[in-house]
Amino acid sequence: MDKNSKIAFLGLGSMGAPMARRVAAAGYPLTVWNRSAGKSDGFADVAGTPGQAVSDADVVITMLSDPAAVREVVGAIAGELKPGAVLIDASTIGPEAVHEIAALLPAGITLVDAPVMGSVDKAAAGELNLLVGGDADKVMPLLELFGTVRRTGAVGTGAALKIVMINAIVNGVALVAEAYQLADAYGLPEDLVKQSLSTSPLAGLATRAAAENAFYQVKLAAKDVDLAARAGDLPIARAVHDRLTSYSEASDEDIAQLVKHFRS
C-alpha cells in the first residue's frame, strides 16, 4: 500500500473515531461509516451505507462493539469488497468470530485480525498495542499509525491473544476493587491501601483501576470476559462476569468505576 491507497473505516465509536482521525491526519484518502448519525462530524467523506464505504477501498477497517456487530457489518459488505482488498478487524471479538467472518469473505480478500490493547487516550495518541494475526505485510504502515504491532501468527491468533490479555486485566481490576472492598471492611485508610497496592505485584492493575483518561465500558469488559469464559473452564472469569453484569448502573462507565461500585 502507499499514501494513495483508499481506506474505509467502519465504526466511529469511542475507539474507532480517534483511530479514523489518525488515518485522515496521515493523508490517506478515507471514507467513514457509522451506523448511527452524529459521530462522523469532522470527517470529509461520509458514506451512507457500509457497502458504499468499502466499494472502492483497498483496505477496510472495522472497529465495532462485539461479534454480532462485526458479523452483521461484514455480512453486508462481503459482496461489495474490491477484489484484492484487505479487511482489518480491530474489534475485540475472539478467534471463533474471526473464523466466522473469514468464511463470509469472497476468495481474494485478505483478513487480518488486529484487536488493540489500550483505551481511548492511547487510541488518540497512536500508542495502542496491536495484536495482529494473519498476513498483515501489506498493511503494516497503516497498522503502525495506531501504535506498536505485535505479530501473533495465523488469522485468529491476534483475537485469541487479545481475549487472553483482556480477560486477565479485567479480572485483575476486579481483584483490585475487591481489595479496596475488603480494606473497607477492616476499616483501613484508603491512602494506606493505595500506597501498598502501588508497591505490590498488583501495581499496574491498581493504576488501571484508578485511570481517569480511559473509557472501556463495563459492558464491553463483561462481553470480553464472557468470550473468555465460553472458551474454557474459567471459574474466575465467570464469577467476574456475573459481578460485572450485576452492576447495571455501571454498564456505560469505564471499568475504573468498578472500585466505587464494589465499595458501595
The number of residues in the chain equals 264
Q: Determine which helix (DSSP H) or strand (DSSP E) holds 162, and give its type and residue range.
A: helix 157-186
**Smaller CB distance to ligand NAP: residue 131 or 193?**
131
**Smaller CB distance to ligand NAP: residue 31 or 183?**
31
CB of 93 to ligand NAP, least distance (A): 6
CB of 39 to ligand NAP, least distance (A): 5
CB of 182 to ligand NAP, least distance (A): 27
Binding site for ligand NAP (CB under 6 A): 11-16, 34-36, 39, 63-66, 69, 72-73, 91-92, 116, 119-120, 214-216, 220, 224
CB of 119 to ligand NAP, least distance (A): 3
Give per-residue burial for 220-237: e unless 16+ CB within 10 Å, then b.
Answer: bbbbbbbbbbebeebeeb
State CA 217 to chain mean position distance.
Answer: 11
CA-CA distances (angstroms) from residue 65 to 206, 257, 258?
26, 20, 20
**Smaller CB distance to ligand NAP: residue 58 or 224?**
224
Q: 144 near 165, Cβ under 8 Å?
A: no
Q: 259 near 177, Cβ under 8 Å?
A: yes
**Smaller CB distance to ligand NAP: residue 193 or 254?**
254
CB of 244 to ligand NAP, least distance (A): 13
**Smaller CB distance to ligand NAP: residue 72 or 242?**
72
DSSP 64-120: -SSHHHHHHHHHHHGGGSPTT-EEEE-S--HHHHHHHHHHHSPTTPEEEE--EES-H
